[in-house]
Amino acid sequence: MQTTVSLGIDIGGTNIAFGIIDKSGNCLANGSLPTTAYNTPQDFVQDLYKTVKKELDNLDVQLVGIGVGAPNGNYFNGTIENAANLSWKGTIPMVELLTKQFNVPAFITNDAKAAAIGEMVYGGAKGMKDFVVITLGTGLGSGIVVNGKLVYGHDGLAGEVGHTLVCGGDRYCNCGRRGCLETYASATGIKRTACELLALENTPSTLRDIPYTEISAKKVYDAAQKGDPIALEAFRITGEQLGKALANLVAIISPEAIFLQGGVANAGEWLFKTTQEQMEANMLYIFKQKIKILRSSLPTNAAIYGASALVWTELNN
Amino acid sequence: MQTTVSLGIDIGGTNIAFGIIDKSGNCLANGSLPTTAYNTPQDFVQDLYKTVKKELDNLDVQLVGIGVGAPNGNYFNGTIENAANLSWKGTIPMVELLTKQFNVPAFITNDAKAAAIGEMVYGGAKGMKDFVVITLGTGLGSGIVVNGKLVYGHDGLAGEVGHTLVCGGDRYCNCGRRGCLETYASATGIKRTACELLALENTPSTLRDIPYTEISAKKVYDAAQKGDPIALEAFRITGEQLGKALANLVAIISPEAIFLQGGVANAGEWLFKTTQEQMEANMLYIFKQKIKILRSSLPTNAAIYGASALVWTELNN
């Protein structure tokens, strides 16, 4: 009997990554296509089919479904809706396009929700019924699982932890408001915090010689590695804001664990330690010392794992 | 065929109310017993049995289950654990006691979670899959329903919205921390806000002639009815704090509606209007104008409805 596999697709503004993954989480083949090379999503789907078909034939496996993680991916409608970082405008019926071309069921969700499904099916949340995945990238995404199921809310739009407001927050957010958590706890947030500290403090810092546009979370990280006090303080403040927000989140849904995914989550113990400390310090006593903050155990291309995992959970329903 | 009914029990520090309720939400009989009259929970259960048995025989109905709403009611263990306002100390195996005495299945949960179940089975949340019930009494309780199921979290303790921290909050809370939402948005919170305003403002107010111990949410309400500016401002601040907290809650779980239950929820349009306005003002744009804030449609003894409703949802599982 042929091994059954799912195709996981992670749609980003620059690249579209895909992986052919079996039920145990083995990635049998993967690749990527340049998003901007395709004028229409139809062109992309056709080209993807050709590429994937070859791989499937080589592997001699049976494709049973396709999962897509995409910015503004709408699970209920099977569409990508007005994604700011894609050149394909309006509402794209991605599930319909994929189903027609591949003749297997397809499912779509947004990137952070796919990340949570990936963690549940292949990663550290295996066997957990209640947990949260926080993705720390340009912004802060979140996928919340309650009673073993992803929380979509009544309109499919739940999980916007990045757009809860932090106390005293005054930074402008892309959403049009001020003080959203993601303006503090994200790669962009770390950069903004570091730059604010440069103006606030008189401490010497190597970051003082880099223009604003060139400062990145990675550069703050590199400076922190060398003991730069501004960079270290930027990470501490980031962990403080994140920890406080997580304390409130815990009071609402009491998850067993909170997983941090994404580039920033690799920023070592500075971020984890302060986040955990501040979560504990601000949390109701009944939750203290019970909620784990864990690093995601998925590979760096977690997004294609999450997208492919969606297939297994959906076909099981 | 006999009508099937469930017995709903609401355990409070002073009284234990019960109701015999059918599947459609008709209360066929109800009564109450004085909590402090019973030295042990066993004594209470025996007396309750005698009282309820008579009613059941008179009504000629079939009891299929018992639901209990209680402070610190633990759904997973079937117990009441260290309830501060009960004279029965330690862990009380209430479900076991009731099952043995009545010979039908019994279920227990905390009062706010029971309120949410009541709203779903008999009240305004009928047919909704995602909603929140906020009970505004001495404290602020919450019952959260996601995907048609109550959110218990990994340890049964989810739904502590009353113990999320508000921005700049400095009021001491019974939980040992400062700034919990329930120190602002509750009957006690309204009283505290009114008293703080008496010190802050110079505006005349009838509340100035009442000692702190005698000021209650009801007296603030009565003063507001007569146009007292301090009382009106106290309700506005209460709505502001609640609305801001609900905006963050919506971003996390995106409920279809938020129901307000309990005495304070009857405080008329002042509270509802400001709560809705502040929730809208602080909410991410994708949720605006979509989330309803509604008054509970359950009778004033909502707690026994909620407790009895637990039976129908549990027997359906």
First to last CA, chain B: 23
3-state secondary structure of A86: coil
pLDDT band at B113 (very low <50, low <70, confident <90, very high): very high
Position A259, amino acid: F
Asked whether residue B279 falls in the same domain as residue B138, the answer is yes
CB distance A295 to A257 below 8 Å: no
8 Å CB contact of B253 and A161: no
Query: Between A146, A154, A286, which is nearest B129 by CB?
Result: A154
* CB neighbours of residue B200 within 10 Å: 11
Asked whether residue A47 falls in the same domain as residue A15, the answer is yes
Asked whether residue B220 falls in the same domain as residue B286, the answer is yes
Please give the C-alpha separations between residue B173 and each of A248, B163, B176, B178, in angstroms, as whole numbers: 15, 9, 6, 6
Sign of the CA dihedral with A302 first, then A258, A249, and B69 last: positive
8 Å CB contact of A161 and B249: no
Reported as a single tens digit per residue, the pLDDT across B258-284 is: 999 987 877 777 889 999 999 999 999
Is position A124 within any domain? Answer: no
CB distance A142 to A159 below 8 Å: yes
Please give the C-alpha separations between residue A240 and each of A167, A264, B72, B249, B251, in angstroms, as whole numbers: 11, 15, 31, 20, 20
8 Å CB contact of A155 and B290: yes
Asked whether residue A286 falls in the same domain as residue A188, the answer is yes
First to last CA, chain A: 23
Predicted pLDDT of residue A316: 83
Averaged pLDDT, B303-309: 93
Question: For residue B246, which residues of chain A lie inside 8 Å, CB to CB?
Answer: none
Residue-averaged pLDDT of chain B: 93
* Nearest-neighbour CA in chain A from B99: distance (Å): 26
Asked whether residue A14 falls in the same domain as residue A52, the answer is yes
Asked whether residue B309 falls in the same domain as residue B288, the answer is no
8 Å CB contact of A254 and B161: no
Is position A123 within any domain? Answer: no
Asked whether residue A145 falls in the same domain as residue A249, the answer is yes
Is position A190 within any domain? Answer: yes
Is position A12 within any domain? Answer: yes
pLDDT band at B154 (very low <50, low <70, confident <90, very high): very high
8 Å CB contact of A163 and B284: yes
Question: For residue B176, which residues of chain A lie inside 8 Å, CB to CB?
Answer: 285
A127 φ/ψ sector (left φ>0, alpha ψ -120 to 50, else beta): left
CATH number of the structural domain spanning residue B239:
3.30.420.40
Position A79, amino acid: T
Cα torsion at A273, A279, A281, A282 (round to 10°)?
Answer: 160
Query: Between A159, A176, A255, which is nearest B154 by CB?
Result: A255
Residue of A nearest to B287 (CA): A157
Predicted pLDDT of residue B193: 97
Query: Between B128, B147, B244, which is nearest A147 by CB?
Result: B147
Please name which of B248, B268, A251 lies closest in space to residue B258, comparing C-alpha atoms.
Answer: B248
The domain tally of chain B equals: 2
8 Å CB contact of B284 and A177: yes
Question: For residue B159, which residues of chain A lie inside 8 Å, CB to CB?
Answer: 252, 254
Reported as a single tens digit per residue, the pLDDT across B157-212 is: 999 999 999 999 999 998 899 999 999 999 999 999 999 999 999 999 999 999 99
8 Å CB contact of B164 and A254: no
Asked whether residue B278 falls in the same domain as residue B152, the answer is yes
Is position A211 within any domain? Answer: yes
Question: For residue A161, which residues of chain B lie inside 8 Å, CB to CB?
Answer: 251-252
8 Å CB contact of B147 and A144: no
8 Å CB contact of A252 and B285: no
Query: Between B149, B159, B286, which is nearest A147 by CB?
Result: B149
Residue of B nearest to A164 (CA): B248
Partner residues linked to A218 by β-bridges: none
SS (H, E, C) B185-225: CCHHHHHHHHHHHHHHCCCCCHHHHCCHHHCCHHHHHHHHH
Partner residues linked to B16 by β-bridges: B11, B33
8 Å CB contact of A164 and B248: yes
Q: Which residue of B81, B128, B146 to mutate against A (max A Cβ within 10 Å)?
A: B146
Please give the Cα distance from B242 to B265 (Å, whole number): 12
Predicted pLDDT of residue B45: 97
Please give the Cα distance from A314 to A117 (Å, whole number): 10
Asked whether residue A56 falls in the same domain as residue A194, the answer is no
Please name which of A146, A24, A69 lies closest in space to residue A306, comparing C-alpha atoms.
Answer: A69
CB distance B7 to B19 below 8 Å: yes
Is position A59 within any domain? Answer: yes
Please give the Cα distance from A129 to A148 (Å, whole number): 4
Please give the Cα distance from A236 to A179 (Å, whole number): 18
Residues from A in contact with B at Cβ < 8 Å: 128-131, 144, 146-147, 149, 151-161, 163-165, 167-168, 175-177, 244, 247-249, 251-256, 282, 284-287, 290
Q: What order of strands is seen across the sheet that includes strand B257-261?
A: B149-150, B140-146, B131-136, B257-261, B292-295
pLDDT by residue, tens only, chain A of 317 residues: 789 999 999 998 889 999 999 999 999 999 999 999 999 999 999 999 999 999 999 999 999 999 999 988 999 999 998 877 788 888 999 999 999 999 999 999 998 999 999 999 999 999 999 999 999 988 999 999 999 999 999 999 999 999 999 999 999 998 899 999 999 999 999 999 999 999 999 999 999 999 999 999 999 999 999 999 999 999 999 999 999 999 999 999 999 999 999 878 777 778 899 999 999 999 999 999 999 999 998 887 888 999 999 999 999 87
Please give the Cα distance from A80 to A84 (Å, whole number): 10
- Give the count of Cβ contacts less than 8 A between chain A and B: 127
Q: What percent of chain B has pLDDT over 70?
A: 100
Question: For residue A165, which residues of chain B lie inside 8 Å, CB to CB?
Answer: 167, 244, 247-248, 282
Asked whether residue A214 falls in the same domain as residue A200, the answer is yes
Predicted pLDDT of residue A71: 84
* CB neighbours of residue B41 within 10 Å: 17
Averaged pLDDT, B71-86: 87
Asked whether residue A201 falls in the same domain as residue A310, the answer is no
DSSP string, chain B: -PPEEEEEEEE-SSEEEEEEEETTS-EEEEEEEEGGG-SSHHHHHHHHHHHHHHHHHHHT-EEEEEEEE-TTEETTTTEEE--TT-SS-SEE-HHHHHHHHH-S-EEEE-HHHHHHHHHHHTSTTTT-SSEEEEEESSSEEEEEEETTEE---TTS----GGGSBPTT---B-TTS-B-BGGGTSSHHHHHHHHHHHHHH-----GGGGS-GGG--HHHHHHHHHTT-HHHHHHHHHHHHHHHHHHHHHHHHH--SEEEEESGGGGSTHHHHHHHHHHHHHTS-GGGTTT-EEEE--S-TTHHHHHHHHHHHHHHH-
* Nearest-neighbour CA in chain A from B274: distance (Å): 18
Exposure string of A244-272, with b = 16+ CB inside 10 Å and e = fewer, is bbbbbbbbbbbbbbbbbbbbbbebeebbb
Predicted pLDDT of residue A225: 93
Residue of A nearest to B72 (CA): A286
Please give the Cα distance from A117 to A126 (Å, whole number): 10
Reported as a single tens digit per residue, the pLDDT across B33-49 is: 999 999 999 999 999 99
- The alpha-helical segments, DSSP class H, found in chain A are 41-59, 94-102, 111-121, 187-200, 217-225, 229-253, 268-281, 302-316
Asked whether residue B64 falls in the same domain as residue B190, the answer is no
pLDDT band at B72 (very low <50, low <70, confident <90, very high): confident
Domain of A81? Answer: 4-118+301-316
Residue of A nearest to B281 (CA): A177
* CB neighbours of residue A9 within 10 Å: 27
* Nearest-neighbour CA in chain B from A181: distance (Å): 11
Looking from the CA of A68 toward its CB, the CA atoms found within 13 Å total: 27
Is position B123 within any domain? Answer: no
Partner residues linked to B136 by β-bridges: B140
Q: Which residue of A129, A170, A182, A254 to mutate against B (max B Cβ within 10 Å)?
A: A254
Partner residues linked to A66 by β-bridges: A7, A106
3-state secondary structure of A33: strand
